[in-house]
Amino acid sequence: MAKLINGTKISNDIKNEIKEEVKELERIKGIKPGLGVILVGENPASKVYVSSKQKGCEEVGFLSDAIKMPETATEAEVLKQIEIYNNRKDIHGILVQLPLPSQIDKIKVLEAISPLKDVDGFHPVNIGKLVAQEDGFVPATPAGIIEMLKREGITIKGRNATMVGHSEIVGKPCALLLLNEWATVTVCHIETRDLKMHTLNAEILVVAVGKPYLIKEDMVKDGVVIIDVGINRITTDKASPELLSWRKSDFDVKGATLIGDVDFQKIEPKASAITPVPGGVGPMTIAMLLKNTLKSAKIFAQLK
Ligand code: GUN
């Protein structure tokens, strides 16, 4: 039986640590960390993420400001809002929720955010700092993965780590972070010829693809540490009999359940540690975003 890595518990610990630091920052410097969020359009998942991020801000005592723009917003309008946040003294972190509607150039938008307020870590300056191992902002989900491994006492140094997925948000930065921690890193993607060969070699396997059951029992070795970043919503009509019985209460109440990219029920007995979905990596993303925003506020307050 694998140890379940409880992301909800770890993220609550981090939020409690942040709360204490916020009180101290207000006491010493009279500063409250502030996060500015820009949401363009009506993407339902983005709306949920943005409201969770705002709720997280409230929980730890941050100021949170959100601008909601219509699906038809122009690039110039988004750039104008970024400029306002760049200049606001009470905003220490800026986040533009992705994806953006097609008329807006994502690269232009991300590059308009001041690297000093880029708490998502997507600006090329911060990506460069990650490569060069300089202090900057690291994207929240991969930062959360490393934080989980460290807080669970899982060794990274010297181990074979396989990253499945090569996105800018998770796969690429996560591979770099694992490398910076001295893992031997393999990155797999859609053109990888023999995925199983690489997953079987993994002592730490991180999967961020968005495909349910991508990683099956025969693709991992005994004792593997599994970090499952996938969040896939399966409705009752699409669920297998095993899933219907395992997640019966979810299907009864919501008509759907959330599963990751790995076949959890079959792989869990082989793994030494595994993140569940939900309650694994998901909650860590918000905790690390808040941590980045606190870090920015501390730099602005000249405490770092
Ligand atoms: N869309 C999916 N994940 C993220 C994230 O971490 N940050 C932003 N800004 N958008 C996202």
Same-domain status, 144 and 274: yes
Based on the domain organization, do 152 and 104 belong to the same domain? no
Q: Is 98 in the pocket of ligand 1 (CB under 6 A)?
A: yes
If 0-12 CB within 10 Å is exposed, 13-18 middle and 19+ buried, where does residue 297 land?
buried
pLDDT at 270 over 80: yes
DSSP assigned state of 215: B
Same domain, 103 and 146: no
Is residue 253 predicted with pLDDT exceeding 90? yes
Do residues 48 and 171 both lie within one domain? Answer: no
Same domain, 37 and 104: yes
pLDDT tens column, 137-164: 999 999 999 999 999 999 999 999 999 9
Residue 96 shares a structural domain with residue 179: no
Specify whether 74 is located in the same domain as 168.
Answer: no
For residues 19 and 57, give the distance between their C-alpha atoms in angstroms, rounded to a whole number: 10
Q: Let me know if residue 131 belongs to a domain.
A: no
Cα–Cα distance measured from residue 174 to residue 211, given in angstroms and rounded to the nearest whole number = 18
Q: How far is the C-alpha of 139 from the C-alpha of 248, rounded, in Å?
A: 35
Q: Rounded to an integer, what distance in angstroms lies between the CA atom of residue 96 and that of residue 83?
A: 12
Note whether 108 and 74 are within 8 A (CB).
no
Check: CB of residue 206 under 8 Å from CB of residue 162.
yes
Q: Is the pLDDT of residue 43 over 90?
A: yes
Give the count of domains, the chain. Answer: 2
Q: How does residue 85 score in pLDDT terms, banded at 50, 70 and 90? A: very high
Same domain for 39 and 153, yes or no, is no
* Rounded Cα distance, 39 and 99, in Å: 9
Which atom of ligand 1 is nearest to 96's Cα?
A: 9
Helix axes 124-132, 171-180, angle to 10 degrees: 30
pLDDT band per the 50, 70, 90 thresholds, residue 130 = very high
Question: Do β-strands 93-96 and 34-40 pair in parallel, antiparallel, or remain unpaired?
Answer: parallel
- Domain contains 277: yes
Per-residue pLDDT tens for 202-235? 999 999 999 999 999 999 999 999 999 999 999 9
Contact between residue 215 and residue 196 where contact means Cβ atoms under 8 Å apart: no
104 pLDDT band, cuts 50/70/90, is very high
The 10s digit of each residue's pLDDT in 185-197 is 999 999 999 999 9
Residue 63 pLDDT > 80: yes
> How far is residue 15's CA from residue 287's CA, in Å, rounded to a whole number?
6
Does some domain include residue 8? no
Mutate which of 98, 141, 167 for ligand 1 pocket (most atoms within 8 A of beta carbon):
98
Enclosing domain of residue 277: 140-281
| 97 given a catalytic annotation | yes
Let me know whether 108 and 174 are in one domain: no
User: Is 12 part of any domain?
Assistant: no
Identify whether 7 is part of a domain: no
**Same domain assignment for residues 36 and 95:** yes
* Preceding omega of 278 cis (within 30 degrees of 0): yes
Give 252 Cα–ligand 1 centroid separation in angstroms: 30
Residue 70: inside a domain, yes or no? yes
70: pLDDT confidence band, cut at 50, 70 and 90?
very high
- 1 found inside a domain: no
Give whole-number Cα distances, 71 to 43, 54, 78, 84, 217, in Å: 9, 21, 11, 20, 42
As given in the structure block, the two tokens for residue 178 are: 């694992």
Please check the confidence at residue 303 and state whether its pLDDT lies above 90: no
* Residue 156, helix vs strand vs coil: coil
Average pLDDT value over all residues in the chain: 98
- Cβ atoms of 225 and 204 closer than 8 Å: yes
**Is residue 94 predicted with pLDDT exceeding 80?**
yes
CATH value at residue 261: 3.40.50.720
Model pLDDT, residue 158? 98
The CB of 210 under 6 Å from ligand 1? The reply is: no
172 and 82 in a common domain: no
Ligand 1: does its nearest atom lie under 6 Å from the Cβ of 120?
yes
- Return the pLDDT at 304: 73
pLDDT of residue 1: 83
**92 lies in some domain:** yes
Separation between Cα atoms, residue 4 and residue 37, nearest integer Å: 32
Q: Are 257 and 163 in the same domain?
A: yes
